Amino acid sequence: MLIGELAKKSGLPTDTIRFYEKRGLIDSELIERRSNNYRDYSEVSLERLVLIQRAKRLGFTLTEIQDWIKAFENDQLTLDQKQRILGQKLEEVEERIQELKRMKSYLSEKIARL
């Protein structure tokens, strides 16, 4: 699929897709060149973009996502290592949830005082 179709399916702007490609988040093996030199993205490229979006929402940085994708896909990590990485991120997410709850409470109190 061309980048415009990929953008529609993923919900990401084409500039973001190109940026991810330049960063190496979308491997060149997932992209073929057509005879007119247009990029032809595979369904796996779409799956990768969905994974990146989900990981970002969970608090992963692009660098973490890039390292994580390479390590997971190349089977460079043991099951224990994978669980530890995801467990650490889960702890960070839990901390953020608690921070957001405290902020929500603070804002609610401010609104009530008004």
- With a CB cutoff of 8 Å and minimum separation 6, the contacts of 12 are 49, 53
**The residue to which tokens 């990929």 are assigned:** 6
Q: How far apart are CA 27 and CA 49, in angstroms?
A: 11
- The whole-model pTM stands at 0.68
Mean pLDDT, the chain cut into blocks of 10 residues (114 residues total):
94 95 84 86 90 86 86 81 86 91 97 95
Query: According to the model, what pLDDT value does residue 33 have?
Result: 85
Query: According to the model, what pLDDT value does residue 52 have?
Result: 92
Query: According to the model, what pLDDT value does residue 27 have?
Result: 81
Query: According to the model, what pLDDT value does residue 19 have?
Result: 95
DSSP per-residue string spanning 75-113: T-S-HHHHHHHHHHHHHHHHHHHHHHHHHHHHHHHHHHH
Query: According to the model, what pLDDT value does residue 92 have?
Result: 86
- Per domain, the residue ranges of the chain are 1-58
Fold assignment, 1-58: Multidrug-efflux Transporter Regulator; Chain: A; Domain 2 (1.10.1660)
